[in-house]
Structure 1
Amino acid sequence: MRPNARRTTLADIARAAGVSVATVSKVVNGRGDVAPHTRTRVQELLHQHQYLAPVFRHSEAEPVDIPTIEVQFQGGLRSYVAETLEGIIDSAAELGATVVVSKATHAPHWARDLVAAGRRAVIAVTSVYTAAHLNELARSGLPLVVLDPLHLPDSRVHSVGATNFAGGLTATRHLLSLGHRRIAYLGGPSMAVCNQARMHGYRAAMEAEGAKVPESYVRPGEFTYATGLHGAAGLLDLPEPPTAVFAGNDDIAVGVIEAARARGMRVPEDLSVVGFDDTSLAEMASPPLTTVRQPLREMGGAALRTALRLANGETIESHHIELATALVVRTSTAPPREEP
């Protein structure tokens, strides 16, 4: 190839093959989820254009720089985490970056060990970072990007999230539009920023409609199935139980549905339920769950791109990126049953 010749990119191959860049990336990286005829066509074009993946492109004047990003998560590999990781990994494949996924441990000198292992930045998914952790990252020169932060990020931290307040507002307005007035909010940790935003959206919608919010109708917990199961039991034991529950995420919502079923109640005939996230769990629920969609894969991609820019020493003016949420209506919501 001539020194000044323009290199063929994944976008060039995708355009010639009539497929997406993601599909070409899958072929380049040996992924199996591509139709055989499409794979053959893309491989022919890659050979024809003498395409070289970034890892193979080098010369004495242009050394290879394949950035490696550490992605850390805490707790179990829930649907939320899995779908976010998919967005990170797909974006890394497209951009020629390497991703290493690990569980957050924060052992002594953990940030220094990451630098020694060649990491250029850290992406945190559901991981909690204290001031001490941030100080160690700063000393090690490792930038940090937090996905959907549980706590207000330090000014040294970049973060990616979604419009949680708007999502809470939209979910509650949906239930109000169906005729519900006794609506409860069953959420995650009380101090979690995303939980507070969803709860405030709920309260704003209820206040605007003039609907009362008894103290017993707002209950914090964890973003888990168990919170839905046990929290809903408490709500349904109230002298005047809610006719609808807005859950802080899909895991909680599925727990609410099971708690209702255990009492012989039907969803949505006896109780309407709305979740948050729109993970694969929402479609598999019985009944399929009305929920607020967070663009989890897109959020993962945005976090990966931000981490790469920081790793390259770029200055990013905005410390927080918010992507839009949207209500997805399925069959777990309906008008309230008429009182006898």
Structure 2
Amino acid sequence: MFKSSRYCLNSLGAHLIIKKPTIDDVAALSSVGRTTVSRVLNGGQNVRDTVRERVLAAVKTLDYKVNLQARSLASGSNKVIALIYSSNLESEPNSYYHSGLELGALRACTDSGYQLQTHAINQDSADYYDKILRIADKSRFDGLIISPPFCDDIKLLNALIEKDCPFVCISAGNIAAKSAHSIGIDEEMAGYEIAKYLLRLGHKSFGYILGLQGHISAQQRYSGYVRAIEEVGIEVKDQILERGNFTFKSGIEIAQNILTRPNPPSALIFANDDMAAGALFSAHKLGIKVPQDLSVVGFDDTPVSEIVWPPLTTVHQPLKAIGQQSVQILLKKMSGINGVEIPLQTIVPFRLQIRESTSGVQ
């Protein structure tokens, strides 16, 4: 029978506490390796249900909790959390998406006595995987918050779990959300509601503009759009589908290309507000009236959506709340029995923000 190093008996038969249980004690009691225990505690995949249950039973029996002070001393950390996001420093930035996440995360870090450090990494760089792992290795970070598309790199997530590095994903796709703690909106339903709204206005001809390849959450919005138009018998193959890079410039170029074709669509749906704002610019330049001749929809409800003309119909994604809650989830993972009381996936509400860029078909 396993005997934890936590207890011994003195000459009077009383229990004396020798030391708090360690991850090695949990591994010994559950008859698995230390890496397996770490994987279970961090909500990792590729662990059989029977093994997971055995590890969690050992955690409960030993009342095991992560020793944050020991972890901090061992790592040389100074209570710092890293927010990792995708950005190509050679192109224009997204106007607000990452700023909104950062503001929310910073608020939660400040409230909890932590510092926040942001890292912009080019998703197209050949060494982005190694760069993120090097960040995870740096002793000053207690944990990571990972945004798209890095949050959908299963190889990367598994490597972080192997390193026993706590992390939380923002807007993870379906596969990653089943294996790592994540927070975001119901992306598929958001895309569905956009399409249903435009269908109610009488639109039957659409142009859908995706974001960068690899952003699974944005792809899920497209799946919702497809579900909605197929429900009313509209053929997806007859609709226009293009891909941008989330920038204002790409919105200008793609919209101009679409709107100068014979029989252009009556509605354009964009994966973010910046591209949708670019489409408004092209429509004005071509003499196309919005929304009389063309309806335009964005996504995220960033500040730009309210200052363009006409103001954009968009989906409000609570970016600051998502950033704030991602830190709160991460702190819970680092301070308690990881993976037991924290839901693997946290869904926050969204809403369709209707403004003047959409109207019924004239």
Residue 88 of structure 1 and its aligned partner are, at CA, apart by: 0.7
Contact kept in structure 1, 2:147 and 2:169, CA below 8 Å: yes
Q: Which residue in the other structure is 2:142 paired with?
A: 120
**Partner Cα separation in structure 2 for residue 200 and residue 154 of structure 1:** 17
**Partner Cα separation in structure 2 for residue 158 and residue 184 of structure 1:** 34
Does residue 140 of structure 1 match 2:152? Answer: no
**Partner Cα separation in structure 2 for residue 128 and residue 110 of structure 1:** 9
Does residue 318 of structure 1 match 2:335? Answer: no
**Partner Cα separation in structure 1 for residue 224 and residue 131 of structure 2:** 40
Are the structure 2 counterparts of residues 154 and 283 from structure 1 closer, same or farther at C-alpha, using a change threshold of 3 Å? Answer: closer
Residue 269 of structure 1 and its aligned partner are, at CA, apart by: 1.4
Residue 108 of structure 1 and its aligned partner are, at CA, apart by: 5.0
One-letter code aligned to 1:223: F
Q: Which residue in the other structure is 1:329 paired with?
A: 354
Does residue 71 of structure 1 match 2:83? Answer: yes
Identity %: 28
Are the structure 2 counterparts of residues 67 and 235 from structure 1 closer, same or farther at C-alpha, using a change threshold of 3 Å? Answer: same
The TM-score, its normalising length taken from structure 1, stands at: 0.72
One-letter code aligned to 1:330: R
Residue 227 of structure 1 and its aligned partner are, at CA, apart by: 3.0
Q: Which residue in the other structure is 1:94 paired with?
A: 111
Matches within 5 A, 1:283-298: 283-298=306-321
Are the structure 2 counterparts of residues 150 and 257 from structure 1 closer, same or farther at C-alpha, using a change threshold of 3 Å? Answer: farther
Contact kept in structure 1, 2:266 and 2:293, CA below 8 Å: yes
Are the structure 2 counterparts of residues 108 and 332 from structure 1 closer, same or farther at C-alpha, using a change threshold of 3 Å? Answer: closer
**Partner Cα separation in structure 2 for residue 182 and residue 295 of structure 1:** 30
Q: What is the number of equivalent residue pairs in this alignment?
A: 274
**Partner Cα separation in structure 2 for residue 252 and residue 147 of structure 1:** 21
**Partner Cα separation in structure 1 for residue 213 and residue 136 of structure 2:** 32
RMSD across aligned positions (CA): 2.6
Displaced runs of 4+ in structure 1, greater than 6 A? none
**Partner Cα separation in structure 1 for residue 106 and residue 170 of structure 2:** 14
Question: CA-to-partner distance for each residue in 1:185-241, whole Å, 9 max, x for gaps?
Answer: 112135532122211211222122333434451223322223322222232233221
**Partner Cα separation in structure 1 for residue 308 and residue 299 of structure 2:** 13
**Partner Cα separation in structure 2 for residue 164 and residue 202 of structure 1:** 10
Q: Which residue in the other structure is 1:275 paired with?
A: 298
One-letter code aligned to 2:356: T
One-letter code aligned to 2:301: D
Are the structure 2 counterparts of residues 256 and 150 from structure 1 closer, same or farther at C-alpha, using a change threshold of 3 Å? Answer: farther
Q: Which residue in the other structure is 1:224 paired with?
A: 247
**Partner Cα separation in structure 1 for residue 111 and residue 335 of structure 2:** 17
User: Where does structure 1 lack aligned partners over 5 or more consecutive residues?
Assistant: 1-62
Contact kept in structure 1, 2:148 and 2:171, CA below 8 Å: yes
Are the structure 2 counterparts of residues 244 and 168 from structure 1 closer, same or farther at C-alpha, using a change threshold of 3 Å? Answer: same
One-letter code aligned to 2:234: A
Residue 268 of structure 1 and its aligned partner are, at CA, apart by: 0.8
Are the structure 2 counterparts of residues 174 and 107 from structure 1 closer, same or farther at C-alpha, using a change threshold of 3 Å? Answer: closer
**Partner Cα separation in structure 2 for residue 244 and residue 171 of structure 1:** 11
One-letter code aligned to 2:143: A
3-state secondary structure, aligned to 2:184:
strand
Are the structure 2 counterparts of residues 314 and 226 from structure 1 closer, same or farther at C-alpha, using a change threshold of 3 Å? Answer: farther
Contact kept in structure 2, 1:126 and 1:148, CA below 8 Å: yes
Q: Which residue in the other structure is 2:29 paired with?
A: none
